[in-house]
């Protein structure tokens, strides 16, 4: 009986594990909390944007990134993405993307004064030095000067290094969503009102591109009061 009970519980455990791996927390940085430009800590910041012109964009990216990433990143800049790159002694140590919406697969819609950050990376031998948090604050300060009020992003709850950097950058969790995709066509999304709370909206369908976007956290329903 014990073996049978274990077997019956196994599918549920597998589904919970898969759900955990497909869940992302929505995080936000309130730019009003940034009172001064962050200290660069001996590094140089380069913001790569389409305004620099195709030749300059290509030269900056080709000089810092592996060949496998160059064309994709050049195309993302051309579509409106901003690439924030931190250098030390001429060597790139970290990059972070930001834009009004994530050009690849934005799962939530930003407000008019929100920017969305995604896909940050630090070279191996520079990890643990707080570059992710520094980059978030540098981009936040830059965006504040442009009139933005918040930077939004998504972090997997199980990704401890990303969460450490997110907290170091002053971002707080304001929502959560779970996304399921089967064979790249069957799509299910569950929206949560806030980190750790369940229910509320869900969507399923056969075409991810036609799925309604998850609204930015300011429009999510308030979490239900605790009964304890």
Mind listing the pLDDT tens digit for each residue in 167-181? 888 888 877 777 666
What gap in Å lies between CA 215 and CA 71, rounded to an integer? 31
Residue with more model confidence, 159 or 13: 159
**Rounded mean pLDDT, 92-101:** 86
Could you confirm whether domain 23-171 is CATH 3.40.630.30? yes
Phi then psi for 223, rounded to 5 degrees? -65, 145
Whole-number pLDDT of residue 152: 86
Mean residue pLDDT of the chain comes to: 76
Band (220; pLDDT cuts 50, 70, 90): very low
Whole-number pLDDT of residue 77: 93
Name the range with the highest mean pLDDT among 122-131, 148-157, 188-197.
122-131
Whole-number pLDDT of residue 7: 53
- In percent, the amount of the chain with pLDDT more than 70 equals 64
Domain boundaries, the chain: 23-171
Whole-number pLDDT of residue 87: 96
The predicted-structure confidence for 24-82, as pLDDT tens digits, reads as follows 888 889 999 999 999 999 999 999 999 999 999 999 999 999 888 999 999 999 988 99
Band (140; pLDDT cuts 50, 70, 90): very high
Residue 223 pLDDT > 50, yes or no? Answer: no
């Amino acid at each position: 009986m014990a073996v049978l009970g274990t077997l019956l519980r196994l599918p549920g455990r597998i589904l919970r594990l898969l759900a955990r791996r497909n869940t992302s927390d929505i995080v936000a940085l309130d730019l009003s909390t940034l009172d001064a430009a962050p200290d660069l800590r001996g590094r140089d910041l380069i913001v790569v944007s389409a305004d620099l012109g195709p030749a300059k964009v290509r030269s900056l990216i080709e000089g810092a990134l592996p060949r496998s990433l160059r064309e994709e990143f050049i195309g993302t800049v051309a579509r409106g993405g901003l690439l924030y790159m931190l250098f030390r002694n001429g060597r790139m140590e970290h990059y972070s993307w930001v834009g009004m919406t994530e050009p690849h697969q934005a799962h939530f819609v930003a407000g008019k004064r929100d920017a969305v950050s995604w896909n940050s990376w630090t070279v191996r031998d520079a990890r643990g030095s707080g570059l992710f948090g520094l980059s978030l604050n540098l981009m936040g300060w830059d965006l504040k000067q442009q009139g933005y009020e918040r930077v939004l992003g998504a972090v997997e709850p199980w990704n401890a290094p990303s969460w450490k950097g997110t907290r170091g950058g002053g971002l707080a969790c304001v929502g959560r969503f779970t996304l399921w995709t089967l064979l790249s066509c069957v799509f299910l999304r569950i929206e949560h009102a806030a980190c750790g709370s369940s229910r509320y909206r869900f969507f399923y369908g056969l075409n991810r591109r036609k799925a309604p976007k998850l609204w930015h956290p300011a429009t999510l329903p308030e979490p239900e009061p605790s009964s304890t």
